Amino acid sequence: MEGTRLNKVGRLLQKELGDIFQKQAQGLSGVLISVSQVRVSPDLSVAKVYLSIFPSEKGTELLEAIRSQTKAIRFDLGQRVRHQLRKIPELTFFIDDSLDYIENIDKLLQK
């Protein structure tokens, strides 16, 4: 029961954060930011957000910019989900490098 609720909250946060990043990335040309996964703690106080950033060369600098704007992003998220959630979780952002890992494996297998 508890796992289902956490999954639903994670999917809601993933959808809304994806919309927020899509609107913010419109000002940046040639950059695509997508939310690949959101993991929520059992007490709904912390959400780990995994971002997939394309091109990956700009990943670290964009991640730092996003981390500096965490409070503003959390506020925007709170405005969007205030009717669904009572407490907005603290957000921590990480780079999801699984696509780079898969690409590296493919290159190794093609040799």
pLDDT of amino acid 1: 42
Range of the domain at 21: 2-110
Q: Cβ(106)–Cβ(89) under 8 Å?
A: no
* Structure-token pair, residue 71: 């409070």
pTM of the model: 0.84
How high is the mean pLDDT of the chain? 88
Please write the tens of the pLDDT for every residue from 22-60: 888 777 777 888 899 999 999 999 999 999 888 878 888
Residue 98 has a CB neighbour count (10 Å cut-off) of 12
Residue 100: CATH number of its domain:
3.30.300.20
CB 44 within 8 A of CB 9: yes
| Residues near 8 by beta carbon (within 8 Å), at least 6 away in sequence | none
Q: State the pLDDT at residue 2.
A: 65
- Contacts of residue 94, Cβ cutoff 8 Å, sequence gap at least 6: 48, 49, 50, 51, 63
Number of structural domains in the chain = 1
